């Protein structure tokens, strides 16, 4: 087909379109929806831990929760920014992803430094506990992850690997936050094996998911 | 584009007509085969049309547009590479390069091919000669030249394409 004819056919019967929300608004929306879906999934899994109110007064617990929430929100902003075409990945996106990733590296690193060889051995021997939490995390993030990818394919991400990474990082962070309010085991090796490391594995796999699933976008 | 998002067809037509030459010139600096430029241009225009809801006025339009153009161009390259694995499509060129002694009356043709080979960058010339004249496999050429097999295939493909272009310049079709 001739390009001029193509342009005529594209402009004929042109309908108005609804613009995607601005990245910041999109990030807020995505964060709220993701946190909400995680909350409902948490209720479905039996509700929050019995001591959640007491733990919420515990500074280190709340500090970790704030870090996870912030990581989720920053990654959500990056995902929204990456959902629209651009010639390159902008500094704000790189910065947001760097901070969100660093938050998880910090959590893992701190937990890793806090474990003893004996503690880690015991945690590995009772890996079934950690496996249960990994499964719980997967359940918590399933719905928000599907929604995030669905919404992103309706946008037009061109940096698909980065976009997938950001989406999974965001959703996993909120999922991990939900898990902290579900799982009562505060054992450091358990947190490392069952909560923190799986999140890192999930969001690294987001690069592959993005390159595969978001191909359908543009 | 803002007006086009609101359904203003004449503004949209004006926009597409204005960006077409810019995208064409963007593509021409990146493609040897200008026949492909028109195909990719149309794919880009279709992608722009499908993604017009993602443009936000606070973002520079050129970043958005060239983001799409670059993405579709890379997709096109990848599809072409998957189609043309490691064999050139022009069977006559392949046969001739592999066995020039069979056609002594084609000495002039051979001379033109030699001239075209000299026009190739050193690496492409080496890969074309090793694969099609000396008969080495891609893996063997990769080992000889200290390259990956994938890089050899890409270099060979580019070499064949450039060789064909030069032969067209010399009057062959």
Which residue has 């490691």 as its token pair? Answer: B86
Contact B9 A85 (CB under 8 A): no
Contact A158 B4 (CB under 8 A): no
pLDDT, one tens digit per residue, over A11-51 is 887 888 888 888 888 888 888 888 888 888 888 878 888 78
Tell me the percentage of chain B whose pLDDT exceeds 90. 20
A vs B, Cβ pairs < 8 A, gives 88
pLDDT, one tens digit per residue, over A55-96 is 888 888 899 999 999 999 999 999 999 999 988 889 999 999
A51 C-beta neighbours (distance < 10 Å), count: 11
Which range in A48-52, A160-164, B112-116 is most confidently predicted, on average pLDDT? A160-164
To test the contact with chain A by mutation, choose from B41, B51, B65 the residue with the greatest count of A C-beta atoms within 10 A, namely: B51
pLDDT, one tens digit per residue, over B124-133 is 888 888 887 7
Provide CB contacts within 8 A for A51, sequence distance 6+: A184
With a threshold of 0.90, tell me whether the complex ipTM lies above it.
Answer: no
Tell me what pLDDT residue B44 has.
92
Give which of A113, A126, A123, A141 is closest to A201, Cα–Cα.
A141
Q: What 3-state class would DSSP assign to A100?
A: helix
Helix then strand count (H, E) for chain B reads 9, 0
A11, A20, A156 ranked by CB distance to B12: nearest: A11
Report if pTM > 0.80.
Answer: no
Return the sign of the alpha-carbon dihedral for residues A197, A202, A203, A207: positive
Of all residues in chain B, the one with the smallest CA distance to A217 is B51
pLDDT band at B89 (very low <50, low <70, confident <90, very high): very low
pLDDT, one tens digit per residue, over A140-160 is 899 899 999 988 988 889 999
Please report residues of A whose CB lies closer than 8 A to that of B60. none
Of all residues in chain A, the one with the smallest CA distance to B13 is A11
pLDDT, one tens digit per residue, over A98-157 is 999 999 999 999 988 888 777 777 777 777 778 889 998 998 899 899 999 988 988 889
């Amino acid at each position: 087909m001739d390009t001029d004819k193509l342009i005529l056919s594209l402009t004929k019967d042109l309908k108005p379109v609804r613009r995607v929300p601005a990245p910041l608004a999109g990030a807020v929306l995505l964060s709220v929806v993701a946190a909400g879906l995680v909350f409902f999934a948490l209720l479905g899994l039996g509700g929050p831990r019995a001591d959640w109110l007491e733990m919420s007064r515990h500074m280190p617990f709340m500090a970790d929760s704030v870090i996870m929430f912030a990581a989720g929100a920053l990654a959500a902003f990056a995902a929204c920014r990456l959902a629209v075409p651009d010639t390159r990945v902008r500094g704000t996106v790189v910065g947001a992803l760097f901070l969100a990733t660093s938050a998880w590296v910090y959590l893992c690193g701190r937990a890793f430094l806090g474990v003893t060889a004996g503690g880690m051995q015991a945690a590995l021997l009772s890996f079934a506990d950690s496996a249960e939490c990994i499964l719980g995390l997967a359940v918590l993030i399933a719905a928000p992850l599907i929604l995030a990818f669905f919404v992103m394919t309706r946008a037009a991400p061109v940096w698909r690997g980065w976009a997938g990474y950001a989406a999974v990082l965001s959703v996993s962070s909120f999922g991990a936050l939900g898990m902290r309010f579900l799982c009562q085991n505060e054992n450091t090796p358990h947190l490392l094996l069952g909560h923190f490391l799986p999140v890192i594995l999930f969001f690294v796999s987001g690069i592959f998911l993005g390159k595969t699933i978001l191909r359908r976008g543009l | 584009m803002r007006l086009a998002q609101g359904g203003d067809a004449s503004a949209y037509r004006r926009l597409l007509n204005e960006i077409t030459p810019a995208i064409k010139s963007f593509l021409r600096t990146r493609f040897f085969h200008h026949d492909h430029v028109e195909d990719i241009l149309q794919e880009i225009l279709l992608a722009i049309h499908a993604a017009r809801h993602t443009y936000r006025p606070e973002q520079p339009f050129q970043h958005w547009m060239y983001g799409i153009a670059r993405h579709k161009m890379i997709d096109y390259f990848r599809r072409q590479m998957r189609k043309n694995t490691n064999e050139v499509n022009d069977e006559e060129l392949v046969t001739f390069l592999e066995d020039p002694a069979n056609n002594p009356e084609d000495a002039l043709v051979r001379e033109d091919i030699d001239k075209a080979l000299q026009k190739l960058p050193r690496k492409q010339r080496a890969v074309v000669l090793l694969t099609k004249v000396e008969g080495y496999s891609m893996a063997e050429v990769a080992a000889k030249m200290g390259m990956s097999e994938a890089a050899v295939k890409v270099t060979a493909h580019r070499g064949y394409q450039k060789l064909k272009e030069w032969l067209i310049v010399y009057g062959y079709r």
